[in-house]
Structure 1
């Protein structure tokens, strides 16, 4: 009987914890900015919510100390290390956006529709890039044209780094172009632990994923994940 009570208590506790987390993630949180730290393409915010101090991370915004914002959802990461800041956060919540509007009107904060793949540069700029694939590699246009064929496979792509975001959700995010184009798709997003610089010409090898949804507005029809830098 004693064993049964212990098991019941554990099940109840775990169930309550899951429900509580789910309820909190659906709440609208009102926060006041206490500290702002800007890094490459991201903003770290120390905030106060009803007397509790937390850290948030959002895509770059011009927030100021004392301003009030609202957010919903988010993904908490424990013992997150920011290499740019050389700082480890005991707890930090990553968000797709924060809003000054508590109702979310005229704001993308509470919209759950999937977003289109971001275009980094226009086609005229892309046309100036001309990079041949390495032996055994493929072009970006070939990947988009035959994406179903490459789904779940590791491929090699050589291209020019157009954009680089460091340590977002514990990954580096690389946008690569090689000058090829398939019906307007010419920019490929790649996640990796490798560090590169905008303007570098690199070769990366990674796993092709389709319709990848990371949550909070980060949706990709096509993405290369966990890539390694070949050269």
Structure 2
């Protein structure tokens, strides 16, 4: 599931205070950009000034109950020892599912006319995603730092020699410590795309390299919009053991990549 967009919820959601206007405790001023049509030559426009890199701002919650209103979805969730309610623009949700959200507008003593009930504590959330759709929601990284379970099972063969200075994924992943912090070039086929998450776009590439009979996968972040299935060369900075919070880590990842050429 992609991020649920609906910053308007902060202003137009139909809640009313029991005795007075709701008290705003915490305000989330950031806004998540909508996905835009894929265009490899166009940069994505970042939304708001706050990136999701601040781990403490990302909450991982488990759904205990779901209430669907006409325009909004209410979730009773747990985080650690806390149990509370959040509300977001209408979306699909089931008991037991895990969601990630950022920030939120905390309000107290709200009465929902639609449900004829009062919520002691309610967070209005505009940036929320099912944990399964988080760009880092792949299985535990193997020792070589790769992961490919959530990327399409594409058999790809890329002529690395056609791209000057490009590294094979097998070389990069095997010797990731050697390339940590360096700007390198890789080439491959884009097998998975998640646009507009954490103010950046996320892609996975394969180049034909394999480990134990499975394609090696490299996750790349970029501001550019890259179509699924594109065969491209990219240049970016290699980071290892990257932790994005909420339990999602990468053994190796390329960040701030730019497209050099098509293949």
TM-score by length of 1: 0.57
Match of 2:158 among 119, 130, 154: 130
Residue 77 of structure 1, CA deviation: 5.4
Once the two structures are superposed, the pairs formed by residues 22-101 of structure 1 within 5 Å of their partners are: 30-34=65-69, 46-49=72-75, 53-55=87-89, 63=92, 68-70=94-96, 74-76=100-102, 91-97=126-132
Residue 52 of structure 1, CA deviation: 6.3
Partner residue, 1:226: 256
- Quote the Cα distance in structure 1 between the aligned partners of 2:240 and 2:70: 38
Match of 2:178 among 139, 149, 154: 149
Encode CA deviations 1:115-164: one digit per residue, 9 max, x unaligned. 34233355xx53x5132151122111110121110011111111111111
Unaligned runs of 5+ in 1: 1-12, 15-20, 37-45, 58-62, 79-88, 99-113
Structure holding more helix per residue: 1
Residue 189 of structure 1, CA deviation: 0.9
* 8 Å contact from structure 1 (residues 56, 92) kept in 2: no
Unaligned runs of 5+ in 2: 1-24, 27-55, 77-84, 105-123, 134-138, 142-146
Encode CA deviations 1:146-186: one digit per residue, 9 max, x unaligned. 11100111111111111112112322111111112355562
Count of residue pairs the alignment pairs up: 168
Partner residue, 1:106: none
Q: Does 1:115 align with 2:146?
A: no
- Quote the Cα distance in structure 1 between the aligned partners of 2:248 and 2:194: 14
TM-score by length of 2: 0.51
- Quote the Cα distance in structure 1 between the aligned partners of 2:243 and 2:206: 22
* 8 Å contact from structure 2 (residues 86, 125) kept in 1: no
Residue 30 of structure 1, CA deviation: 3.2
Residue 95 of structure 1, CA deviation: 4.2
Match of 1:167 among 165, 182, 196: 196
SS in 2 for 1:115: coil
